[in-house]
Structures are given as C-alpha cells and as structure tokens.
Amino acid sequence: MPAPIRLRELIRTIRTARTQAEEREMIQKECAAIRSSFREEDNTYRCRNVAKLLYMHMLGYPAHFGQLECLKLIASQKFTDKRIGYLGAMLLLDERQDVHLLMTNCIKNDLNHSTQYVQGLALCTLGCMGSSEMCRDLAGEVEKLLKTSNSYLRKKAALCAVHVIRKVPELMEMFLPATKNLLNEKNHGVLHTSVVLLTEMCERSPDMLAHFRKLVPQLVRILKNLIMSGYSPEHDVSGISDPFLQVRILRLLRILGRNDDDSSEAMNDILAQVATNTETSKNVGNAILYETVLTIMDIKSESGLRVLAINILGRFLLNNDKNIRYVALTSLLKTVQTDHNAVQRHRSTIVDCLKDLDVSIKRRAMELSFALVNGNNIRGMMKELLYFLDSCEPEFKADCASGIFLAAEKYAPSKRWHIDTIMRVLTTAGSYVRDDAVPNLIQLITNSVEMHAYTVQRLYKAILGDYSQQPLVQVAAWCIGEYGDLLVSGQCEEEEPIQVTEDEVLDILESVLISNMSTSVTRGYALTAIMKLSTRFTCTVNRIKKVVSIYGSSIDVELQQRAVEYNALFKKYDHMRSALLERMPVMEKVTTNGPTEIVQTNGETEPAPLETKPPPSGPQPTSQANDLLDLLGGNDITPVIPTAPTSKPASAGGELLDLLGDINLTGAPAAPPAPASVPQTSQPPFLLDGLSSQPLFNDITTGIPSITAYSKNGLKIEFTFERSNTNPSVTVITIQASNSTELDMTDFVFQAAVPKTFQLQLLSPSSSIVPAFNTGTITQVIKVLNPQKQQLRMRIKLTYNHKGSAMQDLAEELWEGGCDRWQVPPNCTMGLRS
C-alpha cells in the first residue's frame, strides 16, 4: 500500500475540483483510503491521516470514525502525534461522545509531563472540550499548574481554569488562593489570562466580586504602567502598548466598580487619563476609548467624567470611519436615558447620521433621534424625520411612522402643525402605518375642533389622487363622513377652499367601496361615511339610499350587516336618523387600560371592537329618568342620569331622544348603541376623567360635618363629605342609607340631579337592599365637580319597595355658604307617591 498522501497534496487536489460533486467524490475516495489505513493500524502514518480527516471535517464532511484514532495518537509518545491527536480531540470530540472520557487518564499524565509543550497541549485540550467529570478529576492538577513559575504554563492554566469554572462552578473556591499573586507577573500573557480568570470569577459570584475589589489599586497601577511606559516592541500595536490587555483591564474595572462608590472613586483618575491620553488616529486607540466610555457609563463616576465620556462619543460621531460611528450611536442610545442633556448637545450630528448609507447606523440614528425629541426642537427634528421617512428602507417605515406620531402627540406646537404632520406621514408612508394609529388619529382630529374644515379638505385632496393606502383612506373616509358638510360648503380659513360638489364626494367614497385595493375594514369606514352624509348632504339622499341598499346583499358579512341596518334606518326609523348621525362630540382620551377604552361609539358600526356593555343589574332608570326630568323641569337644572356616561338609554324610542336632543350631556355620544342602557358602573368614566374610583380613604376630609339629608318613614340617609385630594374642586359625598323599620327595603335606588354648572358622578351602591332594624347600611359614593365654586343644589330621588308596595320620594338639598355647609331647606318639597 503506497504511503498516504500528505495533507498539502490533499488540499491542492481538492482545490482543483470545479464543482461540488467533484469535490465530494475526491473526499469520499480519500476517506475510504483513510479508513482502510486505520483498520491496518498503521502507526507511522496515523497522524497524517488524522490531519487530512480534520481538514475534511472542517469542510463539512463527517469524520466521526477518526475519534478513536485521535485517542491513540494522544497516547503515543511522539510529540508530533500528540499534537495532532489533541487537535483532533478538540475538533471532533466533546462531551456528547462517550469516548472522550478515555482521554482523562492521558491528559492527567500529560499534565505532569516533563516537557512544557506537552503540558501546554493537555491544558489547551482540557480548556477547550473538557466535560464536567473530566474537569472535576483534573481541577487539582490545573490548580497546581496555576501556581507554577513557568509563565508559558501559567497562562494556559489560567484559561483552563476559566473553562473548569464554567463547567463546574462549585470549584471556584479551589482556585482562589492561586489568584493571590497572579497580577504580580510581568509577563503580559499571564496578566491577560489572569484578568480573564478574575473577570469570570467576579461575574459568577458576588462574594468573589466583593473579595476582588481590593485588587482595584493594583489594576489601576498596571493600567497606568501600560499607558505611561515607552515603546516596547513585543507589545506594540500601532503605537499603543498591548491594547488588548488594556481593554481587558478596563472591562474588569467596570465589573468591579459597578454599584460601588469606593472602587469607582479609585478609578476616576486613571479613566480620565486613558480618555485623554489615548491616540485616536488609529482604530486601536478608538477601541480603547470605546471600552473606557463603556466603563465610565457603568460605574458610579462623577459627572465631569460622564460629560467627558459623552464628548468622546460625540467626537466619534464626527469620525469618518463608519465602524466608529456605529459604535458611538449604540453607546449613545444606551446613555440617552441617564444623561439626556449631554447627549442633546450632539443632536445635529446624530440627525446627520440619518442620511448615512449603512442600514445599522440609520436604524440607531433613528432610535436616538426619537429619544432626543423635545418641545424645543420638535419642528426641526420633525422636518428631518419626515425627510428620513420619505427616503428610508421599507423595514424602517413602520417604526418611523409610529415614532413620529408619538413625538408629534407629545410635543406638537400647534394643532395645525400636528395635523399637517399626520397628513404628511399618511401620504408618504401610508401603507406602513400601524393599525392602531387610525383610531388615535381620528380622535386627534375630532379634538381639534377649529381645524375640521381644513383637515377634511386636505384629506379629500389626498385621496382624490390615490386611494390605495389603507390607513389614509380610513381616516379620510371617516372625516369626510363626519365633516362632509364643511367640505361642500367651501369654508376653510386656513387654506384656499376648494369647490366640491356632493356628487364628487360620493363618487370618491363609492370608488373606495368598489376598489379592489380596499380592505374590508376600509370598506366599512366608507359605507358608514356615506351613510353619515345622508344627514349632512341635501340633494343626494336618494343616491345614498341606493348605494346603501346595494350593499345589503354584499358578500362581505360586515358590510351586509351595516347596509341592512342603514336601510332599516331609512325606512322605519327615518325620524331618528338625524339624531343618530349627528356630529360626534369631542372624545376624551382615556388612558386607562380597562375594558372601557376609547369607545368609538359611532353607532354600532366602528371597526374597533365594541365591547359588550354589562347587562343592567338594577332597575331600568329609563322610565324613571323621564319622571326625574319632569319633576325637575325648568332649564336651570341639568339632569345627570346616573348611568355610565358612555351610554344613553337607547331603546326607549323616539320620545326620549327628543327630550335629550336639547340637553347637553357632556361626554355622551350622539348615536346610541343598540343594547339597552347601563346603570351606574364603577369603571373609570369618560366624564370625570381626572377622578378615579380609587378608594376614597386617600382623600383628606376637610372637616365638613356630615348631615342627615333625609329622614322619613324609617329611612335615613346621611351624607359625609370629603374634599378630593387629587382635585380641589371635587367633593366626594358618601351616602349611607339605613332602615329602622322592621322590614327590609328592597330595590333601593338613589338618584340625584345637579344644576348645569356642576358635574355629578354616582358610583355603584353597595347593594340594593337596606336591611331592617339598622342592621346594615347601603353605601354609595357621589362625586361632585364644582369648578365655579358655586352654591350647590341637589335634588335627590329615592325609590324602593317596602311592605309590599313601591315607594318614591324626592328631596332637595341646598349647600350654602360657599361650599362649607349643607342644609336641608325648611321648605323642601316632599311628596309621597306610590
């Protein structure tokens, strides 16, 4: 059998292969030759064969049959054999193979070998692939070698110790005594690996960390020597002495100085020195400066040092080298939270980076820009960001758009600017805008009352040309539906008004409906908008009726349902149509996360999921509301029906709507939802958003004595007063109803009404039964907002069942004397009805 070819030959042969298949063929042939050679137990050429096998393994071909051969090589006495054997072990073997344990004995023997190179090999291999069992067995040997004076071995032993600690953390204490004078070495190799070992120990165990803190002065000294020492040829890299060691030491200092004032103090000087003395013309210097900056930011450094660090980062940003810019942006992003002002100074440079060609730099610059936006620079920043949005890659557009919306919301200098910005985003990146932005935008537009005409005009113009961007079309459709009358009337102060006829508006909405590009949601918006226009437009109602009836047979169930309901509105409920489709009131922004989030109760047709109202648990206040209104009569009192303000008694029918048509019920939307009304809930309401139904013991009582507001027929109602802590013009009244008769009072309902200048909120009562013999009370909380600090009048009405018959009663309270005292007026009307 001829001698197997050398590794070099093999490599050359494989390189000549022109295709993957050819290469595979060659390798298979060689593998077969190697396998037969192994079977023959050929000692002379074993190491050559294994070397070739390792090369093929590196190219990605399976080489597991060589594992045992590696072991045989390790056991051999020749150094060349051992070398390849250990290399093979590192590449082919790991703890997943059972074979590896056979190595343990070999390694043990080699760790005590007379030649340092053999010992070195053994240490390397153990440090590379040693399993936990092997590490446990051999840790003692490693520790012994760690204390030797031979620096070649010491440095390898230190790295091996790192691996042992990673595999078997319990052995960490074993290495502790050996670390005592590791840092006293002159040899940089040993120093470097010792620092790595110390870093590993500190990261794994807080006790070790505390223990090694005393090494900080020594580390500082070593670092100082590195910087101050002159040129030393063995450690020089582009003019800097051993930058890798410097970086390592800085990293260890960072770990030691974190959260510790004394160590941080000890490091301040050296960090400042490194920061100022390091040469920045080459990458090496910048690498060290980067590490220094990271360290300064992480420890408890003094503010002067931090400013220095941020200035270094700012300087990096101006550097031509893109690597450095990238690194600087990443670090600035991390520090912008803590050192905001310092970073602001470099804002213009950061904004310039938005125009960089590199994708990662652009992304970081964008994130950083958003973090830096504030009230002062919003206009300038927004210009840059909008320009960026125009020109950036699609993967950024969604994030950028969301960021712009957030920033605009927080810092918009004027409503018109805000709306312009939104329009710009919608038109440039319309299809990338996130879905949840649409309701937010709609709410924003509703709230800027004076800009309605301008907004709707601009939106109309925007979708005239192109109605493919869904979020834009949705917002536009909604606005046109809402403010279509402003559009056709041609009144607009901000801009040149355009002449639009009703037919043109309907044309565009219909084309949105028909278009293939419109999603189902968009179509829903468009249909609702057309419907709303039926009350706002005068001459095209027939056309609208026709469109709506066509969609009554649409395949899309959502559209079909809407169309059918609108049809019904036209036919059976025409009298209700105008009230139902009235202009939406200003919506309060609800920031709570409860189920009653921004309810876009534009009838039942909003695409936002309309949460089901909780079913009424108490008696319907509907008919009673009528009574209350009759009683109170007059125009000076605004009844507040004690229901959640988000709903209205709906199904009562026409007469109620007529009644309520004139009354200003703040916060209640014009179009009632289909389900029946809701009695008082204790969820945070739209109305008095500043208040919450938090426990009232947070509020301070202001010494207003409690009064008995009503006492008749055994029913006693007491009022206790507190001034709300959160809002001084809110008074919180707790009523307690008690029953001194011998029978319970059931279905107890307490209602109240206040004059227009006040706002009232009734929370849920604790129950609806007042137990007899004063054994218990019903508690209910009323919150009264009195912004004008006027004299409060309140009319209360009580309803309950007692002794088998229904009882009702009314009372009037007068709060006199500048909100200090309550009185029951002597001539209060009391009537008993059954």
Specify the stretch interacting with another protein by CB under 8 A; choose among 151-159, 287-295, 666-674, 708-716.
287-295
242 binds another protein (CB under 8 A): no
User: Judged by CB, which is closer to another protein: 126, or 404?
Assistant: 126
290 binds another protein (CB under 8 A): yes
Specify the stretch interacting with another protein by CB under 8 A; choose among 186-194, 352-360, 437-445, 493-501.
352-360
The residue within the footprint of another protein, chosen from 135, 294, 526, 641 (CB under 8 A), is 294
327 with 292: CB under 8 angstroms?
A: no
711 binds another protein (CB under 8 A): no
Nearest approach in angstroms of CB 357 to another protein is 4
Residues 349 and 367: their CA atoms lie apart, in Å, by 14
Indicate the angle between helix axes 394-411 and 378-391, nearest 10 degrees. 160
318 binds another protein (CB under 8 A): no
Q: Which of 310, 226, 301 is nearest to 266 (CA)?
A: 301
738 with 771: CB under 8 angstroms?
A: no
User: Judged by CB, which is closer to another protein: 326, or 758?
Assistant: 326
Tell the residue number behind the tokens 């840790």, with chain if given: 139
763 with 752: CB under 8 angstroms?
A: no
286 binds another protein (CB under 8 A): yes
Q: Which residues, listed in sequence order, are joined to residue 750 by a DSSP beta bridge?
A: 798
At residue 822, the 3 state secondary structure works out as strand
User: Judged by CB, which is closer to another protein: 244, or 573?
Assistant: 244
The residue within the footprint of another protein, chosen from 3, 59, 517, 550 (CB under 8 A), is 59
Specify the stretch interacting with another protein by CB under 8 A; choose among 319-327, 385-393, 771-779, 800-808.
319-327
Measured distance between the N- and C-terminal CA atoms of the chain, rounded to whole angstroms: 120
279 with 240: CB under 8 angstroms?
A: yes
Q: Which residues contact 785 (CB under 8 A, 6 or more apart)?
A: 688, 691, 727, 729, 730, 758, 759, 760, 761
Residue type, 31: C
How many CA atoms lie less than 13 Å away from 405 in the CB half-sphere?
Answer: 24
- Secondary structure element (H or E) that encloses residue 816, with its range: strand 805-816
Residues 425 and 439: their CA atoms lie apart, in Å, by 15
Nearest approach in angstroms of CB 58 to another protein is 5
Nearest approach in angstroms of CB 361 to another protein is 7
The residue within the footprint of another protein, chosen from 339, 352, 358, 718 (CB under 8 A), is 358
Cα dihedral 372→373→377→381 (10° resolution): 100
Nearest approach in angstroms of CB 69 to another protein is 18
Q: Which of 576, 497, 565, 571 is nearest to 535 (CA)?
A: 576
Specify the stretch interacting with another protein by CB under 8 A; choose among 26-34, 56-64, 345-353, 526-534.
56-64
- Secondary structure element (H or E) that encloses residue 422, with its range: helix 415-429
Q: Which residues, listed in sequence order, are joined to residue 782 by a DSSP beta bridge?
A: 733, 762
User: Judged by CB, which is closer to another protein: 296, or 456?
Assistant: 296
322 binds another protein (CB under 8 A): yes
Q: Which residues, listed in sequence order, are joined to residue 822 by a DSSP beta bridge?
A: 815
123 with 108: CB under 8 angstroms?
A: no
The residue within the footprint of another protein, chosen from 3, 58, 68, 830 (CB under 8 A), is 58
User: Judged by CB, which is closer to another protein: 32, or 58?
Assistant: 58
User: Judged by CB, which is closer to another protein: 190, or 327?
Assistant: 327
Residue type, 371: A
Q: How many CB atoms lie within 10 A of CB 233?
A: 5
Q: Which residues, listed in sequence order, are joined to residue 736 by a DSSP beta bridge?
A: 718, 779
Q: Is the dihedral of CA 514, 515, 517, 523 positive or negative?
A: negative
359 binds another protein (CB under 8 A): yes
The residue within the footprint of another protein, chosen from 2, 62, 634, 804 (CB under 8 A), is 62
415 binds another protein (CB under 8 A): no
User: Judged by CB, which is closer to another protein: 243, or 765?
Assistant: 243
357 binds another protein (CB under 8 A): yes
| Segment 68 to 107, residues that bind another protein, using CB under 8 A | 94, 96
Q: Where are the alpha helices (DSSP H) in 213-302?
A: 216-228, 243-257, 261-277, 283-298
Nearest approach in angstroms of CB 209 to another protein is 16
325 binds another protein (CB under 8 A): yes
Residue type, 113: H
Nearest approach in angstroms of CB 139 to another protein is 21
The residue within the footprint of another protein, chosen from 38, 86, 326, 396 (CB under 8 A), is 326
User: Judged by CB, which is closer to another protein: 63, or 533?
Assistant: 63
243 binds another protein (CB under 8 A): yes
Q: How far are the Cα atoms of 467, 703, 813, 820 from residue 729, in angstroms, in the given order?
A: 49, 15, 19, 12
555 binds another protein (CB under 8 A): no
Specify the stretch interacting with another protein by CB under 8 A; choose among 205-213, 237-245, 665-673, 690-698.
237-245
Nearest approach in angstroms of CB 220 to another protein is 20
User: Judged by CB, which is closer to another protein: 325, or 346?
Assistant: 325
Nearest approach in angstroms of CB 156 to another protein is 16
Query: What single DSSP character describes residue 101?
Result: G
Nearest approach in angstroms of CB 25 to another protein is 16
- Secondary structure element (H or E) that encloses residue 304, with its range: helix 303-318
Q: How many CB atoms lie within 10 A of CB 630?
A: 9
Nearest approach in angstroms of CB 49 to another protein is 19
525 with 474: CB under 8 angstroms?
A: yes
Residues 89 and 67: their CA atoms lie apart, in Å, by 7
485 binds another protein (CB under 8 A): no
User: Judged by CB, which is closer to another protein: 27, or 657?
Assistant: 27
Nearest approach in angstroms of CB 322 to another protein is 4
247 binds another protein (CB under 8 A): yes
109 binds another protein (CB under 8 A): no
Nearest approach in angstroms of CB 550 to another protein is 52
Q: How far are the Cα atoms of 25, 344, 347, 731 from residue 380, in angstroms, in the given order?
A: 65, 13, 11, 45
Specify the stretch interacting with another protein by CB under 8 A; choose among 228-236, 354-362, 437-445, 586-594.
354-362
Nearest approach in angstroms of CB 252 to another protein is 12
768 with 749: CB under 8 angstroms?
A: yes
Tell the residue number behind the tokens 């096998």, with chain if given: 53
Task: Give a three-class secondary structure readout of 719-773.
Answer: EEEEECCCCCCEEEEEEEEEECCCCCEEEEEEEEEEECCCEEEECCCCCCCECHH
User: Judged by CB, which is closer to another protein: 113, or 322?
Assistant: 322
The residue within the footprint of another protein, chosen from 60, 465, 695, 818 (CB under 8 A), is 60
Q: Which of 647, 705, 702 is nearest to 680 (CA)?
A: 647
291 binds another protein (CB under 8 A): yes
283 binds another protein (CB under 8 A): yes
User: Judged by CB, which is closer to another protein: 333, or 579?
Assistant: 333
324 binds another protein (CB under 8 A): yes
504 binds another protein (CB under 8 A): no
Nearest approach in angstroms of CB 302 to another protein is 24
Query: What single DSSP character describes residue 538?
Result: S
User: Judged by CB, which is closer to another protein: 288, or 717?
Assistant: 288
830 binds another protein (CB under 8 A): no
How many residues lie near another protein (CB under 8 A)? 30
The residue within the footprint of another protein, chosen from 274, 361, 392, 660 (CB under 8 A), is 361
Work out the burial of residue 544: count CB atoms within 10 Å of its CB; fewer than 13 is exposed, 13-18 middle, 19 or more buried.
buried
- The contact set with another protein (CB under 8 A) reads 57-60, 62, 94, 96, 237, 243-244, 247, 251, 283-284, 286-287, 290-291, 294, 322-327, 357-361
